[in-house]
Structure 1
Amino acid sequence: MAVLNNWRTLAIRKRRSSNRTRVDKGPEFRINRRIRVREVRLIDHEGTNHGVVPTNQALQMAEEAELDLVEVAPNASPPVCRIMDYGKFAYEKTKREREARKQQKQIEIKTLRLTPRTSDFHRDVYVSKAKKWLEEGKKVKFQVRFKAREITYPEIGQKTLLEVAEILSDVAEVEQAPKLEGWSMTLLLNPTG
């Protein structure tokens, strides 16, 4: 019975491990002995171009400088290799990517959901929230959700969304007019300033 239990455990572990998704870290650079071409175009650690040299000679030069031979342009003919400290290079590359991600302006879209039966008071509460977000520079999407027979009267939802657009016209411009998509109608607003 113990053997059977171990086989079940093994099968469960194997199944769990196969379900894990693998994270793609992007292109890895080939370094030192992993470079499998006869000749490379070599740039040393001082930036001097040595032209096309045999890979073994390039590896010797890297070992003499106590640095790594890194293939920086594998698609070139012959591949371009540079003598450098690979650890420092990888660290600076991740640092640059992190800085680039910080610099990207992330546009956030805030969504507010209404129904055709939403009262004017509640609609005005949503409008005041949307006004605050638009003044902060965020996009706002109003969505009127229809249920059951309400879908036969889409003009009620369209009227509500057009009223919202009219109220917010001083701080927003309409990016996407009221549009029926399935069981909901959406209106997308952009901040004007």
Structure 2
Amino acid sequence: MVGPNGEQVGIVRIEDALRLAQEADLDLVEVAPQARPPVCKLMDYGKYKYESAQKARESRRNQVLTVIKEQKLRPKIDSHDYETKKRNVVRFLEHGNKVKVTIMFRGREQSRPELGFRLLQRLADDVAELGVIESSPKQDGRNMIMVLAPHKNAKPRAKATTPDAPDAPDPE
């Protein structure tokens, strides 16, 4: 048994432990039921539950939620379409999100996975200043997948706000 101040009391019969708890106006809580003999502690159980809930809430607050955005491409993508998709990947990385880039192969395109690999490498090189390859390109059935992650030291950029109209000069 462990006393209310954390001191070791020793092995005590259950009846004596309950009597000590009642005298100290505390609860007898079993903290290690698998131990031989089981370990019990004299404590205020309500206070213990409250403090453990506070610790759990604090750890949830410090937890970072990772968001994975996905961008799908085709191996024979037009240059303008590629630039649009690349702009989306850049925006996702700037906001601190991971990006899963998927290349979808159809029909005979499946026999040319090097086209998809080259396209993914080109995209990774184009966004190298914003993110790094977290998982290298892998063929997964009809798809080839690569995951890009933002740089560790890069701070996520907040969404841009538009200036208010009253501050703008009047056209009159």
Provide the residue aligned with 2:25 in structure 1: 66
SS at match of 1:100: helix
Provide the residue aligned with 1:153 in structure 2: 112
| Identity among equivalent pairs (%) | 38
Closer/same/farther in 2, CA of residues 148 and 94 from structure 1, 3 Å limit: farther
Provide the residue aligned with 1:178 in structure 2: 137
For 1:97-136, list aligned pairs within 5 A.
97-136=56-95
Compute the TM-score of the two structures, normalised by the length of structure 2: 0.76
TM superposition shift of 1:144: 0.6
Provide the residue aligned with 1:138 in structure 2: 97
SS at match of 1:137: coil
SS at match of 1:140: strand
Higher relative contact order (CA 8 A, sep 6+): 2
Partner letter of residue 129 of structure 2? D
SS at match of 2:12: strand
Provide the residue aligned with 1:14 in structure 2: none
Worse overlay, 74-83 or 162-171: 74-83
Aligned equivalents of 2:3, 2:29: Cα separation in 1: 10
Q: Which structure dedicates a bigger proportion of its chain to helix? A: 1
Any runs of at least 4 consecutive aligned residues in structure 1 with deviations exceeding 4 A, and if so which?
A: none
For 1:47-62, list aligned pairs within 5 A.
47-62=6-21
Aligned equivalents of 1:123, 1:100: Cα separation in 2: 41
Deviations 1:91-120 (A, max 9, x none): 221221222232233333222111224332
Provide the residue aligned with 2:150 in structure 1: 191
Gaps of at least 5 residues in structure 1 are 1-41
SS at match of 2:9: strand
TM superposition shift of 1:122: 2.4
Worse overlay, 117-126 or 50-59: 117-126
Partner letter of residue 127 of structure 1? K
SS at match of 1:51: coil
RMSD: 2.0
Compute the TM-score of the two structures, normalised by the length of structure 1: 0.69
